[in-house]
């Protein structure tokens, strides 16, 4: 996808001002390639330089996170919080703990989050944070000490009305618990709305755990219906085996689809009859083990440690692992095998050339900012419950999630059509998100 010449200067500026941040460049490039038609229709957006402003995060915080490991050795990690945009509400977005985390990755995620959160129509701005800390192989007490040190700096930047972090890769219920405990201890406030993804008994919301995966499955359902078909009887491949992947598999199965493969960083497992979710949950959620263990109890399944999961034929591909996991080569294999849709459960899992290849081949692509927005939308529902000191039933919350996902689908679909790119959800999502954020920014003045 190419950038219109009227926006080339914005692109050149972003590249020069943010050296060595390829993921951030990639995320910005995709948005810049989509928004020329909306700028032509709404000249006030260009006059107010809203895209230039969105490309510069409102605030970027980098801090030292020292902690002591179980052997008594001092460890030093780097912590980040990028507060991207607060036009629509307090900064909102997850924390990622993974060795790959650096400023460029957090900026790309915060940038994406701004558009994603706008798509949900909930009152949330965009932000993201994290650390290069690797929780893998660390004891619970090491994770606790790390989280306490991390929050000892982060607490001064966040708050119910300021910035509301949550989980992402490497940050789940355990980490949110330790982070919340330390925030409460430092501030002497039981401020439930400062973090989302909390435990159910202490301010958490039902469905939050399942929401990203469920939401992606609902989005897939909407896309297939828009093409005159349905999930029923379709074959899916879901990469990853974390929270997003597992609950995407659960909902796809509930909707009548069959997921034949999933993966982790050590390979993938295929089961032609459909993956058994109880086994997978037991391996990944209870045991924190590898998917290779799956074949022990399912002899008909196969584990492949040195191949690509995208070589497994499917009707719908659902990448739920991490950014740029699906390359042009993988896209070519999927297209050869007749894939009809790609639904991004992770943030930016397809490379730019993979996305272009899909679009050229007529494969529908749901970008992460639309398809995985169910997680953050349900975080906003958690904030709503916290604000009213209420808690809703699973059924009611799931119904809200389903409505939000079909609202996002409809907005992307209709906007793509309105701007001359029918069926192109990438363009639709970028235009809707950009318009909503820009209009609020203009109303609030030059800030
Ligand atoms: N990390 C998730 C995302 O990428 C959820 C963020 C949240 O709930 O605030 O959207």
Q: Is 376 in the pocket of ligand 1 (CB under 6 A)?
A: yes
Tens of pLDDT along 297-335?
999 999 999 999 999 999 999 999 999 999 999 999 999
Domain boundaries, the chain: 1-56+430-447, 58-190, 210-362
Instruction: State residue 287's pLDDT score.
Output: 81
Atom of ligand 1 nearest to the CA of 372: 10
Which residue among 126, 167, 171, 346 is best mutated to probe the pocket of ligand 1, counting the most ligand atoms within 8 A of its Cβ?
167
- Residue 93: closest CA among 122, 67, 68: 122
| Model pTM score | 0.98
Q: What pLDDT is recorded for position 288?
A: 82
Which of the residues are catalytic? 128
Q: Is 323 in the pocket of ligand 1 (CB under 6 A)?
A: no
The residue nearest atom 5 of ligand 1, judged by CA position, is: 376
Question: Which residues have CB under 8 Å from 203's CB, separation 6+?
Answer: 192, 382, 386
| Residue 350 Cα distances to 248, 337, 392, angstroms | 18, 17, 35
Q: Is the CB of 428 under 6 A from ligand 1?
A: no
Residues 6+ away with beta carbon under 8 Å from 163: 81, 83, 90, 91, 92, 127, 157
CA distance 85 to 94: 14
CB atoms within 10 A of CB 154: 25
Name residue, tokens 């997680």: 375
Write out the two tokens for 75: 């460890």
Average pLDDT, the chain: 97
Asked if the model's pLDDT at residue 137 lies above 90, the reply is: yes
Please indicate whether residue 286 or residue 235 has the higher confidence score (pLDDT): 235
Cβ of 94 closer than 6 Å to ligand 1, yes or no, is: yes
Widest distance between CA atoms in the chain: 63
pLDDT at 1 over 80: no
Helical segments of 255-293, H only:
277-281
CATH architecture of 210-362: 3-Layer(aba) Sandwich (3.40)
Model confidence band, residue 129 (pLDDT cutoffs 50, 70, 90): very high
For ligand 1, pick from 27, 92, 93 the residue to mutate: most ligand atoms within 8 Å of CB.
Answer: 93
What pLDDT does 26 receive?
A: 98
The whole-number pLDDT of residue 313 equals 98
Where residue 313 falls (left for φ over 0; alpha for ψ -120 to 50; beta otherwise) is beta
Q: What angle do CA 371, 293, 297 make, to 5 degrees?
A: 105
* Residue predicted with more confidence, 179 or 286: 179
Task: Convert the pLDDT of each residue in 264-276 to its tens digit.
Answer: 999 999 999 999 9
Percent over 90 (pLDDT), the chain: 98
CB-based contact 345:213 (threshold 8 Å) = yes
Q: Which residue's alpha carbon is at the smallest distance from atom 9 of ligand 1?
A: 93
Distance 432 CA to ligand 1 centre (A): 19
Of 381, 433, 436, which Cα lies nearest the Cα of 111? 433
CA-proximal residue: ligand 1, atom 8 (nearest): 376
- pLDDT at residue 8 greater than cutoff 90: yes
Span between the terminal Cα atoms of the chain, in Å:
31
Q: Is the CB of 168 under 6 A from ligand 1?
A: yes
3-state secondary structure of 126: strand
Could you check whether 58-190 and 210-362 share the same CATH topology? Answer: yes
93 lines ligand 1 (CB under 6 A): yes
Answer for the pair 132, 95: CB distance below 8 angstroms, yes or no.
Answer: no
In tens, the pLDDT along 374-394 reads 999 999 999 999 999 999 999
Total residues found in the chain within this entry: 447
* Angle formed by the axes of helices 22-32 and 103-120, nearest 10°: 30
Residue 117 alpha carbon, nearest atom of ligand 1: 10
CATH code of the domain made up of 58-190: 3.40.50.10860
């Amino acid at each position: 996808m190419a950038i219109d010449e009227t926006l080339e200067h914005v692109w050149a500026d972003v590249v020069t001002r943010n050296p060595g941040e390829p993921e951030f460049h990639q995320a910005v490039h995709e948005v810049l390639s989509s928004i020329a038609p909306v700028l032509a229709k709404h000249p006030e957006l260009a006059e107010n330089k809203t895209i230039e402003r969105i490309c510069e995060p409102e605030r970027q915080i980098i801090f030292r996170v020292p902690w002591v490991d179980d052997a008594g050795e001092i460890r030093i990690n780097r912590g980040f919080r990028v507060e991207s945009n607060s036009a629509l509400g307090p900064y909102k977005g997850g924390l990622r703990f993974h060795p790959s985390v650096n400023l460029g990755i957090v900026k790309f995620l915060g940038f994406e989050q701004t558009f994603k959160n706008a798509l949900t129509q909930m009152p949330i701005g965009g932000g993201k944070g994290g650390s290069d800390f690797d929780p893998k192989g660390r004891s619970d007490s090491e994770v606790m000490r790390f989280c306490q040190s991390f929050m000892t700096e982060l607490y001064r930047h966040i708050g119910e009305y300021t910035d509301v972090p949550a989980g992402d890769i490497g940050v789940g219920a355990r980490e949110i618990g330790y982070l919340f405990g330390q925030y409460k201890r430092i501030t002497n406030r039981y401020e439930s709305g400062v973090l989302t993804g909390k435990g159910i008994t202490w301010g958490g919301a039902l469905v939050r755990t399942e929401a990203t995966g469920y939401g992606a499955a609902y989005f897939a359902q909407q896309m297939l219906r828009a093409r005159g078909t349905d999930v029923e009887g379709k074959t899916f491949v879901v990469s990853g085996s974390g929270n997003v992947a597992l609950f995407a598999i659960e909902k796809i199965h509930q909707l009548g689809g069959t997921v034949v493969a999933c993966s982790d960083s050590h390979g993938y497992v295929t089961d032609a009859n459909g993956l058994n979710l109880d086994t997978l949950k037991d391996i990944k959620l209870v045991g924190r083990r590898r998917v290779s263990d799956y074949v022990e109890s399912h002899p008909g399944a196969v584990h492949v440690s040195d191949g690509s999961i995208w070589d497994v034929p499917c009707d719908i591909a659902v990448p739920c692992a991490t950014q740029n996991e699906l390359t042009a080569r993988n896209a070519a294999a999927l297209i050869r095998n007749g894939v009809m849709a790609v639904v991004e459960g992770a943030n930016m899992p397809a490379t730019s050339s993979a996305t272009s290849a899909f679009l050229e081949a007529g494969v529908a692509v749901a970008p992460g900012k639309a398809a995985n927005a169910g997680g953050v939308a349900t975080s906003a529902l958690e904030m709503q419950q916290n604000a009213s000191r209420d808690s809703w039933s699973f059924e009611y919350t799931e119904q809200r999630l389903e409505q939000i996902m079909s609202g996002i689908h409809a907005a992307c679909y209709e906007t793509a059509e309105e701007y001359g790119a029918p069926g192109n959800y990438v363009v639709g999502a970028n235009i809707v998100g950009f318009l909503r954020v820009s209009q609020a920014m203009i109303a609030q003045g030059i800030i």
